[in-house]
Amino acid sequence: MYPETFALEARLRQEKIQSALRDTGYDALLLADNANLYYTAGRVFCGYSYIPVAGDILYFVRRPAGLQGNNVIYIRKPEQIAEELQSRGFPQPQTLMLEGDSLSFVEYNRLAASFPGVVVSEKGTALIRAVRAVKTPYEISLLRRSATIHDAMYRHIPHLYTEGMTDIEFSIELERSARQHGSLGIFRIFGRSMEIYMGNVLSGENADNPSPYDFAMGGAGIDSSLPVGSNGSPIRPGQTVMVDMNGNFTGYMSDLSRVFSIGKISELARQAHHTSIRIQEAIENIARPGTAAADLYNIAVKITQDEGLEQYFMGHRQKAGFIGHGVGIEVNELPVLAPRSRDILQEGMTIALEPKFVIPGVGAVGIENTFVVTANGLEKLTTCPEEILPLD
């Protein structure tokens, strides 16, 4: 299934999942979501990863043709999974977890029915997301590589601006640059309703347009079929451009936002931007394994209130309900940094912090960086300059 170099890593992930499974008392977990297949196999395939509480992962593959390995079993339809387990003498599970939050209702029921007499739980999504939230050293190395390229690409951004550009024209050059730096393009995201192109380039008033999507920032977009992000506005003096482009250079996505400006921007906007940097510093000062994610959100709110900036925080006409989120194979992993989050920071988590503001008439300000939670606290992986950079 995977190259020999990945074998130890695959074993480590298998053990993490099996340890979590053991805690639930379930016999096995069956995964079908691409992000989870990639996690367990080191590559995307069409099929299923079957993880028993003890013993090796089995990969039930429909496509592509030609995958090799002891644990690879080709099938045409999911009903063959239970049959193959039986005919090959593997223990039959009495209890099985499925991905209740990503399998469709029809797929879930079909899979469940293919294991007659087995107790099936929908909690497989929660289990695998909790496991994936804490990265292995190899995963962190992939995220670190993404962040390094992401950083290099961001340092190049001011060179891509030409006077008179619209936000879309600017975005197109950034997208091209990202691809030239090795971006895979797609933006893998958890949840049925979330969609966006490569990222969000928000200029001026458009930053205050509410979108249907649960991103930190909105924008009207250029078509009612995708109402988010750039809307074709000219980039004007006195306004900001926030660039929040995804950093999918390795299959592990870093997240990074920076703000650029044309001409002189208002004192209020500068104050809000510096508040974002101060919030980040305050969070860096206290975040460590064991810190509650909700506490980090609350600190951000406290600093914002002290500055009298609440009405602009995380949006103005419409507000996002979080200031950060886990990143990895998907851009919205655990933990969630939100007021009612029960997530607790753990060593090996990788998070994006994005305290942002929308200043009417100016645009979006604030920063976003990707961090890894180490035993000693947060290590910042995205290190390009955080000040508002003039494009002119």
**Which residues make up the interface to a copy of itself (CB under 8 A)?**
2, 32-34, 38, 42-47, 62-66, 98, 100-109, 122, 125, 168, 171-172, 175-176, 179-180, 182, 184-186, 188, 192-193, 195-198, 209-214, 218, 221-227, 250-251, 317-318, 329
Which is closer to a copy of itself, CB of 86 or CB of 141? 141
Polymer length of the chain:
392
* Adjacent-strand bridge partners of 95: 119
Write down the least CB distance from residue 54 to a copy of itself, Å.
Answer: 27
CA distances from 110 to 79, 80, 105, 199, 353 (A): 8, 12, 9, 36, 39
Which is closer to a copy of itself, CB of 195 or CB of 392? 195
Which is closer to a copy of itself, CB of 221 or CB of 366? 221
Write down the least CB distance from residue 41 to a copy of itself, Å.
Answer: 9
Beta strand 119-121 pairing with 58-63: unpaired
Paired tokens of 208: 């205050």
Write down the least CB distance from residue 33 to a copy of itself, Å.
Answer: 7
Which is closer to a copy of itself, CB of 87 or CB of 193? 193
Strand order in the sheet with 350-353: 333-337, 324-326, 350-353, 369-374, 377-380
Which is closer to a copy of itself, CB of 18 or CB of 209? 209
Write down the least CB distance from residue 124 to a copy of itself, Å.
Answer: 10
Phi, psi of 242 (to 5 degrees): -95, 125
Write down the least CB distance from residue 328 to a copy of itself, Å.
Answer: 11
Write down the least CB distance from residue 57 to a copy of itself, Å.
Answer: 16
Which is closer to a copy of itself, CB of 32 or CB of 365? 32
Write down the least CB distance from residue 9 to a copy of itself, Å.
Answer: 12
Phi, psi of 278 (to 5 degrees): -65, -40
Which is closer to a copy of itself, CB of 128 or CB of 265? 128
Paired tokens of 170: 């600017």
Are the C-beta atoms of 195 and 229 separated by less than 8 Å? no
Q: Fill in the amino acid letter for 189.
A: I
DSSP 12-43: HHHHHHHHHHHHHT-SEEEE-SHHHHHHHHSS
